[in-house]
Structure 1
Amino acid sequence: MNADMPPWNVHRLPSAEDKNILVTGGNAGIGYFVAEQLASVGAVVVLGSRDAAKAAAAMAAIQSRVPAARLSHLPLNLAEPATLKSSVDALELDRLDAVVCNAGVSLDHPRRSETQDGHELMFATNHLGHFALTGWLAPLLSAAPAGRVVTTGSFVAKTARLDLDDLQVTRDYQAKDAYARSKLAQMLFGFELDRRLRAAGHTVLSVVAHPGGALDSLTPSRPPVHLRTAGQRLRGLPAGVLLQGKHSAAWPAVRAVLDPSVRGGQLWGPRMAGLRGKPRLEPVRGVLADTALAAHLWTASVHLTGVDPFG
């Protein structure tokens, strides 16, 4: 960090006045708190969500805490990448300063689910949808003075393995493994995107963040989006030694959006064992640093979506 810059304070964020920021999945969970924190410092926040009623509830919750919040809803179905161009066309902005690729689905039932296009649901939503969305957003991101693509990965992706011959997980399907693979694909995309942006001389940055371990029982209430009872709070206290609430889990992504010292290709996560605490820079290593794997995944993703981001 530049010696002239003050230490990063998660409770005193720098101004984001008039910055236009899209948060996918901003209606619930970690995405909600990313949106709330960005709105609290003046950003114009667009909540990307399939469900208009849930988006309205989230906007009401944010405005109850940030009365001056400037918010809107963009209907967005990441599970169907073919619909995303029309969604982006409806985004009435002259530029986009950042997109936080946060939305995701995690299934726990043993039966494999597919989208209408025949893609495995978690891979389609978590990776392919954001891959295509970023491509359609490229002109708006390029129009900003210093646009950013912030991809929300997961701690579990670090030990996942991606099978390029079976990206859709048609063999030996296990829900937890399929989820981890989809998050690994997201993170590899974020790193590969930055390499391609730098090679092409773009001013847009691509940064990857992960939230660590986040529990509802450690998350403060935000009615009607999230309600935590006193009993849930007490039961969650022991887990607070290792994990955190979703308000704290939002900190790495928020820093990746706002911190002027952030550079493309970086990975930000919680300070304490990558599970909880204030955001810090993490090394990119292991499977996350596999450039050949990331390049092959990119080629496959272009084939599956028909979109080549910034290409």
Structure 2
Amino acid sequence: MSAVSPGRPWDVHRLPSARNRTFLITGGNAGIGYFTAEQLAATGAVVVLGCRDAGKAGAATASIRSRVPGARVRHLPLDLADLSSLEAAVDRLDVGRLDAVVHNAGVALDDPPRRETADGHELMFATNHLGHFALTRWLAPLLCAAPAGRVVTVGSFAARSERLDPDDLQSARDYRPQRAYGRSKLAQTSFALELDRRLRATGSPVLSVVAHPGGALDSLTPSRPPLHTATAGSRLRALPAGLLLQGKDAGAWPIVRAVLDEEVRGGDLWGPRAFGLRGAPRREPVPAHMADPAVAARLWSASAELTGTDPHLGFARPRLL
């Protein structure tokens, strides 16, 4: 990947070229995913929006093209809640290699009742974690075919206050939507860090990195009609929050850096500079509970079983001596 000049600080408004590279962004039609796609499209890369709704994907594509002349962006129909559909979805990607996937798509429910997918998995855990776990398996050959493939998982502050219960990963007992959401994001992060440990053990050039948007609010986000419209009133009311928080356009900056910057290392956690809430992206310490190898190993085994996936995820195995 093209790097910034030595000694020059990372500039979110002057990104290095990524021409001839291909990036897949799950949930790239809205929110953080949309702004990640818009910013990456400006680097000259081919950007693929992986999402269910063709109409929303079309609106996002049109919006990006209106702001990025010559943008190369397309839609991949992708439903992370339907595990049986993921292999065929990756086949439709129709590329020889994939330089990065951004695991961004997610479901956040505010109220009971507990909902399940057609496979019988709790909806948030299934979409946010299990779908990305299984998708990584099918993308593995394409990521390995790239000179320096990356798996960038979008984390969340919601994961910081939660702990995984390996005996109740799907919140079958005492279901509380906000807690279940936080645990699903913690599962994503734990998976991403464990994936990098396993990639390093095989000597793989593929990196697995976590990046989070900090405090990113719709009310502080610039308009992208018809995807999102910020009224003058809503922006005025949000001004006090802007002292600590930011819009989703700025929330995408750590994710974009995690995709592009050659200084990024496997197992990194990237977030906004100011208290992890707003500002330019920086590397952060990884909280111990997110990187607990014993919990991660149990999560990995359970995820492989629940998705019917090869626990090696299709990446190269270490050679036996």
TM-score range, shorter chain: over 0.9
Give the corresponding residue for 1:134: 136
Out of 110, 113, 116, the position equivalent to 2:112 is: 110
Give the corresponding residue for 2:148: 146
Out of 285, 288, 302, the position equivalent to 1:286 is: 288
Partner letter of residue 104 of structure 1? G
Kept in 2, the 8 Å contact 1:197–1:310? The answer is no
Out of 46, 50, 56, the position equivalent to 1:48 is: 50
In the aligned structure 2, how far is the partner of 1:292 from the partner of 1:12?
41
Give the corresponding residue for 2:318: none
In the aligned structure 2, how far is the partner of 1:234 from the partner of 1:131?
40
SS in 1 for 2:246: coil
Out of 185, 188, 193, the position equivalent to 1:186 is: 188
- Superposed CA deviations along residues 40-75 of structure 1, whole A, max 9, x for unmatched, are 110100000000000000000000101210011000
Q: Could you state the TM-score of these two structures normalised by the residue count of structure 1?
A: 0.98
By how many angstroms is 1:286 displaced?
A: 2.2
Partner letter of residue 172 of structure 1? D
By how many angstroms is 1:4 displaced?
A: 2.4
SS in 2 for 1:178: helix
In the aligned structure 2, how far is the partner of 1:267 from the partner of 1:291?
16
Consecutive aligned runs of 4 or more in structure 1 exceeding 2 Å deviation: 1-5
By how many angstroms is 1:2 displaced?
A: 9.6
Partner letter of residue 310 of structure 1? G
Kept in 1, the 8 Å contact 2:129–2:188? The answer is yes
Task: Kindly report which structure 2 residues correspond to 1:23-42, keeping only aligned pairs within 5 A, or say none.
Answer: 23-42=25-44
SS in 1 for 2:234: helix
Give the corresponding residue for 1:167: 169
Task: Kindly report which structure 2 residues correspond to 1:1-311, keeping only aligned pairs within 5 A, or say none.
Answer: 4-307=6-309, 308=311, 309-311=313-315
In the aligned structure 2, how far is the partner of 1:289 from the partner of 1:203?
21
In the aligned structure 1, how far is the partner of 2:283 from the partner of 2:4?
14
Partner letter of residue 22 of structure 2? N
SS in 1 for 2:272: strand
In the aligned structure 2, how far is the partner of 1:150 from the partner of 1:102?
8
In the aligned structure 2, how far is the partner of 1:2 from the partner of 1:237?
33
Kept in 2, the 8 Å contact 1:158–1:286? The answer is no
- Superposed CA deviations along residues 63-101 of structure 1, whole A, max 9, x for unmatched, are 010121001100000011221001001111110000000
Unaligned runs of 5+ in 1: none
Unaligned runs of 5+ in 2: 316-321
* Cα RMSD (Å): 1.2
In the aligned structure 2, how far is the partner of 1:261 from the partner of 1:5?
12
Q: Could you state the TM-score of these two structures normalised by the residue count of structure 2?
A: 0.95
In the aligned structure 2, how far is the partner of 1:5 from the partner of 1:133?
37
